Amino acid sequence: MIGVGVSMLLIATLILVLVRRLRHKSKCPSLQGYRFRKRDKVLFYGRKIMRKVSQSTSSLVDTTISNTSRPRMKKKLKMLNIAKKILRIKKELPILQLKEPPPSVLEADLTEFDVANSHLPSEVLYMLKNVRVLGHFEKPLFLELCKHMIFQQFQQGEYVFRPGQPDTSIYVVQDGKLELFLTQQDGKETLVKEVFPGDSVHSLLSILDVITGHQRPYRTVSARAGEDSTVLRLPVEAFSAVFEKYPESLVRVVQIIMVRLQRVTFLALHNYLGLTNELFSHVSDGPCPGDLPMGVVQGAGGGLKQGWQVAKAQAELSHCKGWGGALWGVGSGQGQSQSLWQCPPLSLQSVSQEPKERRSVTVEEQPPGTYHYNYCEDDSAGGACPFGPYQGRQTSAIFEAAKRELVKLMKIEDPSLLNNRVLLHHAKAGTVIARQGDQDVSLHFVLWGCLHVYQRMIDKAEDVCLFLTQPGEMVGQLAVLTGEPLIFTIKANRDCTFLKISKSDFYEIMREQPSVVLSVAHTVAARMSPFVRQMDFAIDWMAVEAGRALYRQGDKSDCTYIVLNGRLRSVIQKGNGKKELVGEYGRGDLIGVVEALTRQPRATTVHAVRDTELAKLPEGTLNNIKRRYPQVVTRLIHLLSQKILGNLQQLCGPFTGRGFGGEELTNPASNLSTVAVLPVCDDVPMAAFTLELEHALNAIGPTLLLTSDIIRARLGASALDSIQEYRLSGWLAQQEDIHRIVLYQTDCTLTPWTVRCIRQADCILIVGLGDQEPTLGKLEQMLENTAVRALKQLILLHREDGPSPSRTVEWLNMRSWCSGHLHIKCPRRVFSRRSPNKLREMYMKVFEKDADRHSDFSRLARVLTGNSIALVLGGGGARGCSHIGVIKAMEEAGIPIDLIGGTSIGSFIGALYAEERSAVRTKQRAREWAKSMNSVFETVLDLTYPITSMFSGSAFNTSINKVFQDKQIEDLWLPYFNVTTDITASAMRVHKDGSLWRYVRASMTLSGYLPPLCDPKDGNLLMDGGYINNLPADIARNMGAKTVVAIDVGSQDETDLCNYGDSLSGWWLLWKRLNPWAQKVKVPDMAEIQSRLAYVSCVRQLEVVKSSSYCEYIRPPIDRFKTMDFGKFDEIYDVGYQHGKVVFSGWCRGDIIEKMVKDRRLADFYESKRMDVLTCPSAGFTDLAEIVSRIEPAKSYLSDGEESDYLTEYEEEGLDPAREEEELLAPAEWIHTEVFETKLWPLLPGEGVSWA
C-alpha cells in the first residue's frame, strides 16, 4: 500500500509540473536571442569541476594522505563524486580474462623417445639411453663403447642367456620383446619382467663383479625372446679400455653403482616393502678371513687365530640388548703412546621403551673420560681380548700385521699409503661404533671379536640384526663410497678390536691409487644376498625427460614407480575430452600402486614436469617377492590403504576432485621441492627478496638458496658449462634430498643458469613491483616460447607504508596462464640500496632472530610448503558480528591467517579483514555498516512491489558499495573467496576474482527479501551461498590449506517437533496457539518448512565439515541473538571475543597452535633423513671422481661493477647508520659465512672444488 501511495504522489507531481509549464509558455511570448543550451552549461561546469579536481586525483594515486591534509582530501573526493554524478561517469572496472592452461601443463609430448626424427641411429640412441645410468660419458668415450656393440637375432622362445653362462654383458632390445625369468628351487621359472624396445637387461652388481675381476655366471636368472627380436649386446670388457685411459670414469661408475644400490634397490625393498635382513648375506662371499700368515699368528701368540674362532662361536650367542660401553683407540704413529679417543663415551638406549613416534636411535653422553695408557713390557696376553689396550709391545706387532692384511684385502700397491691413516681401536661390550643416519662414517676392519649391524624396521620402533662382521671383514664401505648416510647401526655386543680408516683418509688413499675402490666395492657386493642380486636385474633405474609421459590413460598396469627426484603430474581426460589435473608427485611418492595391485588399466596420464629419476618395480617382480616373503603383503596392504584413505580424505592438496581450468586452481602444490624466483624487471630487489624468503622458509625446514654466483664459488668456474651437465644435475639432486626446499634465484637475463633454474623448478615465482605500471618482463617474453610445465605464481611486492594493491587484474591479463597471485608487504630493508657486504651484515642479524609468523613472507613460505592456515566464516546475519571478536582473539593467540573466505555475513567480514588485515580496523568499518542497517527510513524507501522480492536492493547495494568502493577481489591483501548459489545453473559458485562488493552482496542475498544479483560475467542469477554451503571449509581445503579454522554462527533449528499423526488440522493448530491454557506444540509453518528445505544441503555439508580431520570447528554462544540484531553489534562482538579467548587459550595448552604452524612434512622429513636409506639432514654429496682427478682450488668471482652504498629511507631500524664503509664483496665471497653456509660434499682439508 505504501508503494502504491508513493507512485500516485509522483504521478500527481508530474502532472502539476506539466500544467504549470504549459501555462507559463502561453503567457510569455517567444523572444529571439542567444543563449547556452542546457547540455552545454552542464558540460561547461562539469569540465570546470574536473579541472579543479584533476590535481587531487593524481595525488590520490601517487602519494599518501597525511593527517593534516585529510579533511582537504575528503572535500576533493566529494567534489569528484559530485562531478561523476552530474556527468554520469561510470568507471569501467577491468575483468580478469580466464585463460586455459597451456598445452604443456596438461599434455605430455607425443613421442616418448623420438627415434625417427633423430639424426643418430636407433641403436646408438638406445645404447645412450641405457648406458646413461652408468654416468656421463663424454662423446669420445661413448663412441669408443659403441664400437664394441654386437647385434644378435633371436627367434621366439630362444634363450638369450641361461643359468651357468657368464654374466658379462648388457643387453638392449632394439625391436621385439625379451622375457626375464627367475628359476625357483623346484626348477620352475617365474616371469619377473618384460623388456621392450629401448629397455635393457643387466645387473649393476654383475657389471661391478666383472670390473673388479670377480666374474660370476648366471645362477637363477635367464632371458628368452618373447617374440622375434633384435638385441644389442655390449660386453662389460668394453669399459676396460675406457677406464685405463680415464681412471676418473672408473671411479665414477663404481660410485654410481653403489648409489643405485643404496638409493634404488634398498629404497624399494626396504622403505616400501619393509624387508631388512633379507637383503644381506649373513656370511660374506669374500675371501676367507682366517687365512693370515703364520708369522702373524705366532707373533700374536696365536691370539688372532684364536680370536676369530671365538668370535664365530660367540656370534650365535650375541643379542641386541644392553647397549653401552666405552671406546679406546691406538694410533699408527711412531709407536708413541697417545690418546686418540677424546670424545665422551657413548651409550645407546633401547628404543622399544620410547613412544612409537620416536623411531630414532637415542644416544646419551656419559661423564667425559679420557683413557691414557702405555705399552707394557709384559709379553703375556692375558685377559679376554688377546690384544686389548693393555697388551704392551705385542700390540704394535699385531697392529703392523693387521695393516698388512688390510693391504691385501684392499689390494693396495704401496703399503705406505696406510701410514698415519689407520687407527687401532678396542671397543668394550655394548659400544655403539656408528649410528644409522650418520654422515661422517669410516671403514672398520675387524681383527678380533665381531661387530653387529642393526637396522630400524619400517613403522616399528624395533631394530633387527642384519649380519655380523667377522674378523678379516670390513663394514661401512657403502656409505664411504656413496658419500651418503649410513643405512644401519654398528655396535659391538662383545669386546672387539678393529682398524679404522676415516672417510677423508680413504679419499686420500683413493687419490693416490684409484683402483682401491674396486676391492672395497667388491666387499660390498659380496655382502649382498642372492635375493638382492636377483632384484638388481628386475628393478630399473629410469630417467624421464621433462614432458615425456611415464604412462598414458588406459595403458596396461604392469609396474609401480617410486620418485627418486624430480616431479610428475597426473592428468585425467573426461568423457567430453576435457583434461583435468588430478595431482602432482614429488620425491619419495609412490605412483601407480593402486592400479598395479588391482590390475586395472591406468586411470590417468602421468608425465614429467621436469627431468625425473624413478625406480621401476615390475608387477612380476612384486608377485615373486610376495610369494617368497609373505610379510610383504601386509606392507602392501598398508600402502594401498594409505592411498585409498588419502583419496577419501582429499589429501591431494588443491587439486582434489577439481577441474584445472580457470578459477579452480589457486595454490600450485603442497609438496614442492624446488622453487625458481624470476624477476619482472631489474628494479626488483631479488637478493633481498630471496633472503627474506629463505629466512621464512628456514622456520619451516632446512632451506638452501642457490644463485649463479654461489654455484661458481662452490663448484668452480666451469660448473655451468654443458660438459658438466651430469655432475651439476647430480649435485642439485643431492641438495633436494637433504633440504626441505631449494630456492633457485635466476639471473636478470636468459643465461644458462636461468635456463637451469626454470628446468629444475617445481614452481616459478614471477616477482614484480606492485607500485609500478603493470609490465611484462623481457625474461618472461623469452620464456613464453619455451614449454614451461612448472606452475607459475605472480608475486607483487609493496612497500610497508605504500598504498593498497591496485590494478592486479592488469598484471594478470597481460600474462599467459598463472596458477595464482600473492601480494607481499615488504619490510623497509628489502627496498634499501646496500652493497653486498652491508646486505650480508644486515641479514646476518636478521637470521639470528626467529621469523615473524604473521609476516607476508612467512605466509608465502607456508603456501609453498603446503602449511597454509585458512579462516572460514559462516553465515548467520547479525550473529556474524561475533566473527570479528574471534579474529581479534586469534591475533592475540598468535595464529596467522593465510587465506580467508566465507558465506553471507561471513563473506562481508572476511572481505573487510582481507583488505585491512587488522581486527581493529575491521571492527570499526563493520560497526559503521551495522549502524546503517538499522535505518528504518532507507529500508522503507527501498520497498517495492513484491513479485521477486520485498525490496529492490538499491539501498542494500549502496551500503555495501560504500564499504568496498570499486575494490577488486584480486586487489585484497589476503587470498579471498566467497560462496553463492547459482539458481540459473542450480550449482554452487566460488568467487575468487571480480567486483568485491557485487559478490559480497550476492552472497548475502536472502530469498524473498532481496532480488538475485546478476553475475557481471555471465548474467546468471546469484543468491545467498548459505543455501548450499554455509561453512565452506572444504573449499578452503581444496585451495591448499592444511588447517581450516571454521566459525559457525548459523541458526540451529528445533529437532524435537510434535508428532501430530497422519494429518494436521490448521484450526486445531490455531486453537493451540491462541489458547493460553493449552499445551504448546512445535509444528513448523509454511515459511519454516521452505527454509528448512532450502538449507537441507547446507546442514549435510556442515556435518561433513565438523567431522573432518583438517577442520577446527568453533561455534560462539550466539543463539540468543536474532538475524537482524545489528543494533547489538558490540554485545555480539564481545561474545565472540570472550569465547575465542577461552578456546585459543586451551589450544595453547594443548599445543594445537604449534601443530598448526608446524610443517606437516617436517617430522617425516627429519625421520626419513635420519632413518631411511636415502639421505640425512647433514648429508653432502661426494664425487669420488673429482677427488681422483685432483681438484683445483675454487675460483672466487668479484663483481665487475660496484653497487651504490647510498642508503635510502628504507633502512632497517636498529642498524647503526654510522658504520664504516667496507670494501665491496661479491656474493661469491660472503656466501660461506655462518648464516648462508650449507653442507657441501666432504672435501679434503684445505681444498676447494673446481670443475675447471
Distance, first Cα to last Cα, the chain: 93
Helices vs strands, H then E, count in the chain: 43, 39
Output the CA–CA distances (angstroms, integers) from residue 291 to 296, 414, 469, 471, 673, in the order listed.
10, 21, 16, 11, 51
Quote the CA–CA distance of 572 and 229 in Å, as a whole number: 34
Reduce the DSSP state of residue 951 to 3 states and report it. strand
Among 898, 1024, 1125, 1159, which one carries the catalytic annotation? 1024
Among 904, 959, 995, 1189, which one carries the catalytic annotation? 904
Detail the DSSP E strand segments found in 1028-1154: 1041-1047, 1111-1114
Selection from 456, 461, 409, 452 nearest residue 433 by Cα: 452
The DSSP line for 817-854 is: --SEEEEEE--GGGGS---HHHHHHHHHHHHTSPPPTT
> What are residue 1090's phi and psi, to 5 degrees?
-60, -40
**Amino acid sitting at position 1144:** F
Place of cell 559503521: 928
> What are residue 791's phi and psi, to 5 degrees?
-70, 145
* CB atoms closer than 10 angstroms to residue 388: 19
Selection from 687, 830, 858 nearest residue 770 by Cα: 830
Quote the CA–CA distance of 911 and 239 in Å, as a whole number: 68
**Amino acid sitting at position 759:** R
42 membership: H or E segment, kind and range: helix 38-62
Instruction: Give the 3-state DSSP-derived string for 540-585, with helices as H, strands as E and coil as C.
Output: EEEEECCCCEEECCCCCCCEEEEEEEEEEEEEEECCCCCEEEEEEE
- Can 1024 be counted among the known catalytic residues? yes
| Residue 124 grid coordinates | 646408438
Selection from 776, 981, 752, 978 nearest residue 880 by Cα: 978
| Residue 757 grid coordinates | 633454474
The DSSP line for 446-458 is: EEES-EEEEEEPT
- Can 502 be counted among the known catalytic residues? no
The DSSP line for 144-161 is: HHHTT-EEEEE-TT-EEE
The conformation of residue 528, written as its DSSP 8-state character, comes to: B
- Asked if 269 and 535 touch (Cβ cutoff 8 Å), the reply is yes
- Asked if 614 and 733 touch (Cβ cutoff 8 Å), the reply is no
| Residue 307 grid coordinates | 680370536
Q: At what angle do helices 139-146 and 238-245 cross, to 10 degrees?
A: 150
Number of residues assigned to the chain: 1252
> What are residue 424's phi and psi, to 5 degrees?
-100, 120
Quote the CA–CA distance of 769 and 295 in Å, as a whole number: 79
| Residue 1130 grid coordinates | 558490540
Strands 1041-1047 and 1111-1114: parallel
- The alpha carbons of the chain give a radius of gyration, in whole angstroms, of 38
Catalytic machinery residues: 904, 1024
